[in-house]
Amino acid sequence: MQRFLFLFLLPILAFAVDPEVAAKNAQTFGIWTLVPPIVAIVLAFITKDVILSLFIGVFSGTYLISIANNGVFTSFVKGFISIVQRIVGSMADSWNAGIILQVLCIGGVVALITKMGGTKAVALWLSKRAKTGISAQISTWVMGLFVFFDDYANALIVGPIMRPITDKFKVSREKLAFIIDATAAPIAGIAIISTWVGLEISLIKNGYELIGVTDINAFGIFVETIPYRFYNLFMLFFIVCTAFMGREFGGMLKAERRARTGELHSTKSRMVDVEDKTLEPKEGIKLQSSNAVIPLLVLIIGAFVSFYFSGLNALQGEALEKATANPFTFETFRETFGNADASVALFQSALLATIVAIFLGIYRKIFSVKEAIETWVKGWKTMIVTIVILLLAWSLSSVIKELGTSRYLVDMLSASTPKIVLPAAVFILGSFISFSTGTSYGTMGILMPLAIPLANAVGVNSGLEGDALHAYMIVNISAVLTGAIFGDHCSPISDTTILSSMGAGCNHIDHVQTQMPYALSICAVSILVGYMPVSLGLSIWLALPLGFLAVVLLVRFVGQKV
């Protein structure tokens, strides 16, 4: 039990700390190095407020460092001053600044697209092609995939637009809420262009710095984790299976059978519909799908172009000569993308998409320059919470690194933790934390720095090296990112779960109760067919088909015909 307790202790980093200082602190403080992450996690459970929890976690660490050389009361002042210095230092780092800017800018692009009515137009286009209950569910699923760039946008846009269609074909509000929720965070978490990717690649980069690797391409690692995001992929496939096979189980079966009689709601009170009216397009404006498609294509294509040239400028010597001689080969793309500065590339593409979206909106007389800028800034404001979490996570990580927490944990656990257990344990603990706190972001920030140093040490002690060790690291990183999404997906206090209920016009408790069996079932498939077999050496390209087959069998033999 003690081993599993230690498995979910940690956070992230931003400053260069002398390894000798970290090693000395780890030896000096011993088990006390665990205080900051324990404080952050325990407070997150108690208060349900990840920002307050991270702040106090940072302060406990700065106080601990200060008290070694100062008095009890003096350390309070020095600890507070140290927090300010670490936050400022985090913002001053060029990589972190790029991450902050691209997260804010993508938030602005999302707001502009919404204001222009582009996403609504695409949704209406999809809804007109729904002819049956199956096509209504699949159209909702496709719409959820289309709004891949942000989970909040997904919950607030898809529900109100698709609700009349699913109502028409007697699909229960619980099923609609489930489809919305299951295509919000799961798709945003694996999309290579989204409001999530900045946080995820930042955590990966900082986690690798904890083990002394500073030249890693975090975006490349992020892309490599996508096939290992078992819960995300299996859940997205599960929705399609239930729709086409017409089978459900648990509370959802009762809800769907009730809906077929014309009673779309349960007898409980209904949720109030929620839409962001300030971003609604003006009345009389022609809704055009191109208002969303054009800026998003610019964002995606611009990101790929930026990655290519950013990486090309970073190449030197023989690698540069090969890339110049053969600019469009797979090897060249691999080298350029592997050496690109993701934070700058994503910011550049987001800024270009912003300019295109503003120009398009003005050209089509949707809004004035002033209104466009105000909308863009409003989009930035929606991302402030993400930025605050990032800054505190970076600060907490710098404290963790200086205290030598990861070194202490690795020395204690690396020789005794079986490599097959670690990915599943990280996934489960990530799920538990995010379920209890209702936040994926905070869970990733708290847990990621543990998974990377611990996976590295456990892998090395298990005899892994080279590509095998790298693959094992990827599995554990994906376990953090996916476990955080699973717990958040079925948490009753999660903001996306609440927004999905509201967007679907569904009673919130009904949504949670009907979704929980589905989430737990896919969680079990992810662990038993995904993380554990892959940890034993099974190829990911065998694990994925087996997982999809397991999902089909689950729906076929556990589910019943509606």
Q: How do the domains of the chain map onto residue ranges?
A: 12-92+385-401, 96-129+272-381, 178-269+414-562
Position 6 scores a pLDDT of 34
| Percent of the residues in the chain that have a pLDDT greater than 70, as a whole number | 86
Task: Judge contact between 379 and 188, C-beta under 8 A.
Answer: no
User: How many CB atoms are located within 10 Å of the residue 384 CB?
Assistant: 12
Instruction: Give the best-scoring range by mean pLDDT among 224-228, 292-296, 363-367, 408-412.
Output: 224-228
Position 1 scores a pLDDT of 35
Res. 488 pLDDT band, cuts 50 70 90? confident
Q: Which of 2-6, 197-201, 258-262, 423-427 has the lowest mean pLDDT?
A: 2-6
Please give the model's pTM, rounded to 2 decimal places.
0.71
Res. 541 pLDDT band, cuts 50 70 90? very high
Res. 48 pLDDT band, cuts 50 70 90? low
- Per-residue pLDDT of 120-162, as tens digits, reads 787 677 667 777 888 889 988 988 887 776 776 677 677 777 8
What's the whole-number mean pLDDT along residues 219-240?
93
Alpha helices in 169-289 (DSSP H): 173-182, 185-188, 197-209, 218-225, 230-245, 251-260
What's the whole-number mean pLDDT along residues 413-433?
78
Position 11 scores a pLDDT of 34
Res. 345 pLDDT band, cuts 50 70 90? confident
- 224, 294, 453, 476 from 420: Cα distances, Å: 20, 45, 16, 11
Cβ neighbors of 45 (< 8 A, separation 6 or more) are: 433, 436, 437
What's the whole-number mean pLDDT along residues 154-182?
84
Position 102 scores a pLDDT of 78
How far apart are alpha carbons 96 and 99 in whole angstroms? 5
Task: Judge contact between 189 and 485, C-beta under 8 A.
Answer: yes
Position 5 scores a pLDDT of 33
Res. 7 pLDDT band, cuts 50 70 90? very low
**Percent of the chain that is helix, strand, coil (3-state, to 5):** 75, 0, 25
Query: Chain-centre distance of CA 40, in angstroms?
Result: 20
How far apart are alpha carbons 43 and 59 in whole angstroms? 13
The two three-digit tokens of residue 20, written as one number: 């000798």
Position 14 scores a pLDDT of 35
What's the whole-number mean pLDDT along residues 459-477?
86
Q: Which of 208-212, 417-421, 518-522 has the lowest mean pLDDT?
A: 417-421
Q: Is the pLDDT of residue 551 over 90?
A: yes
What one-character-per-residue DSSP string does 310-365 give?
Answer: HHHHH--HHHHHHHHHSTTSHHHHHHHHHTS-HHHHHHHHHHHHHHHHHHHHHHTT
Position 216 scores a pLDDT of 81
Q: 184 by DSSP, 3-state: which?
A: coil
Res. 415 pLDDT band, cuts 50 70 90? low
Task: Judge contact between 499 and 271, C-beta under 8 A.
Answer: no
Between helix 495-504 and helix 173-182 the angle, nearest 10°, is 140
Q: Which of 309-313, 405-409, 531-535 has the lowest mean pLDDT?
A: 405-409
What's the whole-number mean pLDDT along residues 221-236?
94
What's the whole-number mean pLDDT along residues 539-561?
94
Position 267 scores a pLDDT of 58
Count of H helices and E strands in the chain? 29, 2
Position 536 scores a pLDDT of 84
Res. 175 pLDDT band, cuts 50 70 90? very high
What's the whole-number mean pLDDT along residues 158-182?
86
Q: Which 8-state DSSP code applies to residue 214?
A: -
How far apart are alpha carbons 139 and 128 in whole angstroms? 9
How far apart are alpha carbons 274 and 517 in whole angstroms? 26
How far apart are alpha carbons 276 and 266 in whole angstroms? 26
Res. 549 pLDDT band, cuts 50 70 90? very high
- Per-residue pLDDT of 237-270, as tens digits, reads 999 999 999 999 999 999 999 988 888 777 554 4
Q: Is the pLDDT of residue 3 over 50?
A: no
Q: Is the pLDDT of residue 272 over 60?
A: no
Mean pLDDT of the chain: 81
How far apart are alpha carbons 53 and 55 in whole angstroms? 5
- Per-residue pLDDT of 323-340, as tens digits, reads 788 888 777 776 776 677
Q: Which of 135-139, 169-173, 412-416 has the lowest mean pLDDT?
A: 412-416
Instruction: Give the best-scoring range by mean pLDDT among 78-87, 229-238, 436-445, 462-471.
Output: 229-238
10 Å CB burial of residue 164 (0-12, 13-18, 19+) is exposed
